[in-house]
Amino acid sequence: MLTGNMMDFQLTINSVMRHGRTLYGQQEIVSVTADNPLHRYTYEDAFARVSQLGSALAKMGLSAGDRVATLAWNDYRHLEAYYGISCSGLVCHTINPRLFPEQLVYIVNHAEDKVLMVDLLLFPLIEKLRDKMPTVERIIIMTDEAHMPQTELNVECYETLLAGHPTDFTFPELDEKTASSLCYTSGTTGEPKGVLYSHRSTVLHAMACTSSASFGLNSRHTMMPVVPMFHVNAWSMPYACIMAGSKIVFPGPKMADGAVLTQLINHEKVTLAAGVPTIWLALLNYLRENNLTVDSLQAVTIGGAATPRSMLEEFEQTHKVTVNPAWGMTETSPLGTFNSVRPEIENLPADELMPYRLKAGLPPYGVELSIRNPEGIEQPRDGKSFGNLGIKGPWVASQYYRNDTNIIDDKGFMDTGDIATIDQYGYMQITDRAKDVIKSGGEWISSIDLENACTSHPKIAEAAVIGVYHPKWDERPLVIAVIAGDDTLSIEELNAYLEKHVAKWWLPDDVVYVDELPHAATGKLDKKVLREQFKDHTLPSEQ
């Protein structure tokens, strides 16, 4: 074999840091924090402090690969931890504060975290659980001395930890396959499972996020990552933005506050933002109720759950903001697909184009998708044939942390647990989670498609569809919905609307209205809770 004569350049997060600090040192990072309503500094300021953190970590006696956990919101100190920990050859273990306490304890102990860096607002949670975390040797509160809480625990102040350390610390040279960060799944079925990312996978993923085939970040953009930094590396925005030189605006603990998001967007001239549907619902409600606009905003990426048609239309028609649905998982870093309009379909009539706009999108270079039936036979890419969705690529997990079980099949694909279609243009559409498919009379009904149809009605703000027992059909669809106004829809009125959008035999047998729907720690609908809550629900057709 004749090999090329090119340099063996290690793809590490350290190289991203050097690039951002050298080329875009004066670019801004703006944050809302517990101890500062609007903190502002530059890349150069940030990486000088990252150097101080790296130096402090080096003096702690930690070994390469040790886990340093963070329990924090989206702000500048958390960004510093992302780089200071990983660039030191340690593993940045981001923890979701929305997990149940027993899940949080489980993952800290399973990861064997040595150090825990915790946001001031989240410290009360750790106070209650400290005795259950025997591997944690040091707790660092991410604030200054003036805001340190009164506590009987042995804790350290983040700002005091950094003080006195050099701002030009020399980080170790790392192999690109070195583990960089760790994130656990939400554990909706069984215990949470850890996904261990490498420097190489993280850098390649960030490069894909800067591509025009996805977020298309560059130094002219101001990105507001509303997707939390404690889950799947905030969709790689802390890396991709530094790589591209984009201004970053962090909303801190105010991620679901429509007023704060609006103020940040308008004051900081945010051009791009990323988050889950519940976040954008809060923003749109606030804009609508207060007759406000977000003129600088150009595009939002929506992931974590299907994009409701009504949300896409309100963003684009009222605010001239392009909506890009996306799909991914903790196991996929998470970028799996990103929806942008291909030239072959951009001139279709609006009603014909909309179904494509709402799909999960196209895989970027580096990702390959497969849909196969239960017998393992690849299904046609016709947008109608569906099957189990498999995925492979350099930023897709091959196994879980501290678990030797291989999770990829003989073709090299990881089973996502999703049921999906792929059309002739390559657009992937999730039709359901395998465990959420409604099996009625031997046929499958997509709960996701039915939910999307429900939320396209102007009177329905959010909807979940589950299957409930039926003596004849095995299961039939039940809609659990949050109403957008004051008036509810009867099941007859809802079905009169839905029959224009879905097959007649898909029409739900009943609708129940609730004040709010349960969401898992990552923002996704928690249908496990709904199935338990409505397991004894009697459908009108049974009465």
Comparing CA positions, the residue from 235, 305, 300 lying closest to residue 273 is: 300
Question: Is a pLDDT exceeding 80 seen at residue 543?
Answer: no
Taking the C-alpha atoms of residue 472 and residue 440, their distance in angstroms, rounded to an integer, is 9
Residues 312, 446, single domain; the answer is no
What's the mean pLDDT in 477-490? Answer: 91
Average pLDDT score over residue span 82-109: 95
**Residue 32 lies inside a defined structural domain of this protein:** yes
User: Do 317 and 445 lie in a common domain?
Assistant: no
- Contact partners, residue 85, CB within 8 Å, separation at least 6: 53, 57, 68, 70, 91, 92
Distance CA 424, CA 470 (A): 36
- 383-422 pLDDT, tens per residue? 999 899 999 999 999 999 999 888 999 999 999 999 999 9
Torsion sign across C-alpha atoms 253, 196, 142, 127:
positive
Alpha-carbon distance values, 419 to 302, 332, 392, 429, 445 (Å): 20, 16, 16, 9, 11
pLDDT tens for residues 246-269?
999 999 999 989 999 999 999 999
Q: CA-CA distance, 344 to 352, in Å (whole number)?
A: 13
* Bond prior to 334 in cis (omega within 30° of 0): yes
> What does the alpha-carbon distance between residue 111 and residue 396 come to, in Å, rounded to a whole number?
20
Question: ∠ at Cα 76 (74, 77), nearest 5°?
Answer: 95
Has residue 34 been placed in a domain?
yes
Asked if 393 and 208 touch (Cβ cutoff 8 Å), the reply is: no
Same domain? 319 vs 449:
no
Band of pLDDT at residue 325, cut at 50, 70 and 90: very high
Asked whether residue 20 falls in the same domain as residue 160, the answer is: yes
CATH of the domain at 479: 3.30.300.30
**Domain end residue (candidates: 325, 354, 376):** 325
**Residue 121 backbone phi and psi in degrees, to 5:** -70, -20
C-beta of residue 541 within 8 angstroms of C-beta of residue 476? yes
Q: What is the pLDDT of residue 257?
A: 95
Residue 53 lies inside a defined structural domain of this protein: yes
Average pLDDT, the chain: 94
**Catalytic positions:** 185, 331, 439, 444
Measured at the CA of 510, the angle between CA 508 and CA 514, to 5 degrees, comes to 115
pLDDT 10s digits, 151-203: 999 999 999 999 999 999 999 999 999 999 999 987 555 788 999 999 999 99
Out of 272, 304, 325, pick the residue that ends a domain. Answer: 325
What is the C-alpha to C-alpha distance for residues 69 and 136, in angstroms, rounded to an integer? 9
Of all residues in the chain, the percent with pLDDT exceeding 90 is 83
The verdict on residue 176 lying in a domain is: yes
Residues contacting residue 538 through CB under 8 Å, at least 6 positions apart: none
- Quick one: 447 and 312 in the same domain? no
Q: What are 73's two structure tokens?
A: 């919101």
Residue 329's Cβ-count burial label (10 Å; 0-12, 13-18, 19+) is buried
Q: Give domain status of residue 334, yes or no.
A: no
153 and 293 in a common domain: yes
Q: What is the CATH number of the domain that holds 27?
A: 3.40.50.12780
State residue 542's pLDDT score: 65
The answer to whether 271 and 296 have CB atoms below 8 angstroms apart is: yes
Mean of the pLDDT values across residues 68-83?
98
Cα separation, 409 vs 511, in Å, equals: 40
Total domains present in the chain: 2
Structural domain contains residue 92:
yes
User: Residue 330 falls within a domain, yes or no?
Assistant: no
Element spanning 369, H or E: strand 368-372
CA 210/CA 202 separation, integer angstroms: 13
Q: What is the pLDDT of residue 441?
A: 77
- At which residue do the structure tokens 């749109």 appear? 284
Whether 5 maps to a domain, the answer reads: no
Residue span of the structural domain in which 289 resides: 13-325
Query: Which of 277, 305, 325 is the last residue in one of the domains?
Result: 325
336 three-state secondary structure: strand
Q: Are residues 47 and 174 in the same domain?
A: yes
Assigned token pair, 23:
């080329």
Q: How confident is the model at residue 360 (pLDDT cuts 50, 70, 90)?
A: very high
